């Protein structure tokens, strides 16, 4: 895959991700306007995007290093688990659903990063 196409796909993905985060947050705020983050909407969206980028690209760029080594996979898993715990801490005082709503999207990003990486690698292998 050409680098320009790969960059376009990544940028498009992040635009859609941010739009989705805005949409879900707006819907949530209509149901619960007194939510703790209601007064800091832009900050919340920024943090969601920043955390998403961290999870996605940690997985995306570290996967080639992991290869088929169990030790490296365990290290990546440990890093991702530590990040999940770190980012879930603010929601822990609010309840289990808030923790899950913080953790599940980031796990989905890890899965998407895995799919993106494997697809990009398979395209590069085909070209060679």
Find out whether 59 and 80 touch, Cβ atoms under 8 Å.
yes
Answer whether 123's CB lies under 8 Å from 5's CB. no
**Per-residue pLDDT at 1:** 62
SS3 2: coil
Q: Please give the model's pTM, rounded to 2 decimal places.
A: 0.76
Residue 18 corresponds to which tokens in the numbers above?
Answer: 């941010």
| pLDDT in 10s for each residue of the chain, 128 residues | 678 888 898 899 999 989 988 888 888 777 777 777 678 788 878 888 888 898 899 888 888 888 778 898 899 889 888 888 887 777 677 666 666 766 778 888 888 998 988 888 888 888 87
Residue with tokens 């940028």: 11
Query: What is the largest distance, in Å, between two alpha-carbon atoms of the chain?
Result: 56
Question: Can you give the pLDDT at residue 14?
Answer: 92
């Amino acid at each position: 895959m050409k680098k320009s196409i790969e960059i376009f796909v990544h940028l498009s993905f992040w635009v859609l991700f941010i739009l989705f985060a805005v949409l879900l947050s707006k819907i949530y705020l209509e149901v619960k306007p007194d939510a703790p983050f209601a007064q800091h909407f832009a900050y919340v969206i920024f943090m969601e995007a920043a955390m998403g980028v961290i999870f996605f690209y940690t997985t995306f760029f570290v996967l080639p290093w992991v290869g088929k080594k169990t030790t490296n996979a365990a290290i990546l898993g440990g890093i991702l688990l530590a990040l999940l715990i770190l980012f879930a801490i603010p929601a822990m005082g609010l309840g289990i659903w808030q923790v899950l709503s913080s953790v599940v999207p980031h796990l989905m990003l890890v899965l998407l990063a895995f799919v993106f990486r494997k697809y990009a690698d398979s395209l590069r292998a085909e070209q060679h």
